[in-house]
Amino acid sequence: MKLYSYFRSSAAYRVRIGLNLKGLAAEIIPVHLRHNEQHAPDYAALNPQHLVPLLEDGPHRLIQSLAILEYLEETRPEPAILPPDPAGRARVRALAQVIACEIHPLDNLRVLRYLVRDLKVTNEAKDQWYRHWIVEGFDALEKLLAGAPETGRFCHGDMPGLADICLVPQVNNARLAGMDIAPWPTIQRIAAACAEIPAFAAAHPSKQPDAE
Amino acid sequence: MKLYSYFRSSAAYRVRIGLNLKGLAAEIIPVHLRHNEQHAPDYAALNPQHLVPLLEDGPHRLIQSLAILEYLEETRPEPAILPPDPAGRARVRALAQVIACEIHPLDNLRVLRYLVRDLKVTNEAKDQWYRHWIVEGFDALEKLLAGAPETGRFCHGDMPGLADICLVPQVNNARLAGMDIAPWPTIQRIAAACAEIPAFAAAHPSKQPDAE
């Protein structure tokens, strides 16, 4: 397998964690987003969305991190990153989507660029925007996690899965933005539990071949 | 089943289509987003994210439209809204996520409110923002659809599925914003094919009990 990745991309970070959890090796091919390599004709031909990650698995070319992770779960089921029961699976997917559909899309590079270039917002207002959506999302997530008997050492029980895979890169982004995670104690506790797992640690941006 | 819905919410619209396609009845409980009913204590206790849709199925309370649709697929598999093969499923999920993770989150009500209230952007700039993310997303989607042998009468083959479920509400939003869909002929063609299916037609905002 080949993973087109950017060390700082949290969507690529999710897939790196998923591959590691399942013990799968993939050649990392860096695409430098800040240097606009995602818009180069060769890459745009591979992914018309001009985004990372992209996973090549034999003849299959896969985009969108959550779709890639579901594909890995279906083709390499062990160890599982989703629970076996439909209600549990729905809960884990929903927790993942609170991050992947409600926080991350608002804070990614192309959106921040639009704020500055097109809407001419100040750097301060841009940073406030960035933190605002993390606060909104983490407030909801903390309630969903802290109030649920299904929450264990990780987001769902005592094995890491899809929700943790999405949580850790988002917590990393929040910290990079200078945010303190302490107001969300369950998120903080789960992120710390994940950090102890080699599959998560090895996927960290600082451990990537293109890290700066 | 009970579906907490808002006639104009495209995430709720997706779940309404999915329920109809599977021939499932759900009592619709309207939550008026523009009147801020999603922030009322009773609703916030049900969904800490203060968003619709929320589906109650017996003892299970489910949030996030894509997670709900996957749950319906797992608990009521016929007719299927995902293809049987992992690569096909990954393609359909990715098409759905191009909309649900890259277009819709940027154009939903809470984000438009932030642009106007906090960033003080003009109405014109807000409308431009709204259209910008649809154009970016539809450009990518059109390439992904038009260039693929898997595309049929619908996004994937000749049966409607998860990608079409996400596409139709997004096309509806684009039209409501005065956009012409003709620049994306495959999207236009698929949306027209979906409109002929009663399950899609009955889920339209104008057919809802809370329609204005």
The CA distance from A163 to A100, in Å, is: 10
Could B67 and A140 be called an inter-chain contact, meaning their C-beta atoms sit closer than 8 Å?
no
Segment A192-202 shows an average pLDDT of: 98
- Can you give the pLDDT at residue A20? 98
Q: Which of B56, B64, B65, B118 to mutate to test the interface with A (most CBs of A within 10 A)?
A: B64
pLDDT digits (tens, 9 = 90+) for A69-99: 999 999 999 999 999 999 999 999 999 999 9
Could B63 and A114 be called an inter-chain contact, meaning their C-beta atoms sit closer than 8 Å?
no
- Write down the ipTM of this complex: 0.96
A89, A139, A144 ranked by CB distance to B74: nearest: A89
Identify all chain A residues contacting B68, using CB atoms and an 8 Å cutoff.
Answer: 90
Residue of A nearest to B65 (CA): A94
Whether the per-residue pLDDT at B156 is higher than 90: the answer is: yes
Range list of H helices, chain A: 10-21, 41-46, 65-75, 86-100, 104-107, 109-117, 123-146, 162-176, 185-195, 198-201
| Confidence bin at A47 (pLDDT 50/70/90) | confident
Residue A86 in contact with residue B75, Cβ under 8 Å? yes
Could B64 and A143 be called an inter-chain contact, meaning their C-beta atoms sit closer than 8 Å?
no
Q: How far is A210 from chain B (nearest CA, A)?
A: 25
Average pLDDT, chain A: 96
- Can you give the pLDDT at residue A49? 85
Q: How far is A208 from chain B (nearest CA, A)?
A: 25
Identify all chain B residues contacting A38, using CB atoms and an 8 Å cutoff.
Answer: none
- Can you give the pLDDT at residue B50? 86
The CA distance from A131 to A109, in Å, is: 14
- Can you give the pLDDT at residue B168? 98
The CA distance from A49 to B123, in Å, is: 28
- B37/B114: higher pLDDT: B114
pLDDT digits (tens, 9 = 90+) for A107-128: 999 999 999 999 999 999 999 9
Could B71 and A49 be called an inter-chain contact, meaning their C-beta atoms sit closer than 8 Å?
no
Whether the per-residue pLDDT at B145 is higher than 90: the answer is: yes
Q: Would you call B68 an interface residue with chain A, using a CB distance cutoff of 8 Å?
A: yes
CA A157 from chain centre, in angstroms, equals 20
pLDDT digits (tens, 9 = 90+) for B66-107: 999 999 999 999 999 999 999 999 999 999 999 999 999 999
A64, A87, A106 ranked by CB distance to B111: nearest: A106
- Can you give the pLDDT at residue A38? 87
Q: Would you call B75 an interface residue with chain A, using a CB distance cutoff of 8 Å?
A: yes
From B1, B2, B5, B71, select the one nearest B32 (Cα to Cα).
B5
Average pLDDT, chain B: 96
The CA distance from A102 to B106, in Å, is: 9
User: B29 pairs with which residues across the strands?
Assistant: B4
Kind and range of the H or E run holding A30: strand A27-30
A71, A90, A106 ranked by CB distance to B90: nearest: A71
Whether the per-residue pLDDT at B159 is higher than 90: the answer is: yes
The CA distance from B142 to A69, in Å, is: 24
- Can you give the pLDDT at residue A45? 86
A67, A114, A136 ranked by CB distance to B94: nearest: A67
A60, A87, A143 ranked by CB distance to B60: nearest: A87
Give residues 155 to 184 of B whose Cβ lies within 8 Å of A: none
Segment A174-192 shows an average pLDDT of: 98
Q: Would you call B74 an interface residue with chain A, using a CB distance cutoff of 8 Å?
A: yes
| Confidence bin at B148 (pLDDT 50/70/90) | very high
Residue of B nearest to A104 (CA): B101
Kind and range of the H or E run holding B18: helix B10-21
Identify all chain A residues contacting B97, using CB atoms and an 8 Å cutoff.
Answer: 64, 66-67
The CA distance from A184 to A18, in Å, is: 24
Could A64 and B129 be called an inter-chain contact, meaning their C-beta atoms sit closer than 8 Å?
no
User: Residue B28: what are its φ and ψ, rounded to 5°?
Assistant: -90, 125
pLDDT digits (tens, 9 = 90+) for B28-61: 999 998 888 888 988 888 888 888 899 999 999 9
pLDDT digits (tens, 9 = 90+) for B165-210: 999 999 999 999 999 999 999 999 999 999 999 999 999 999 999 9
- Can you give the pLDDT at residue B44? 86
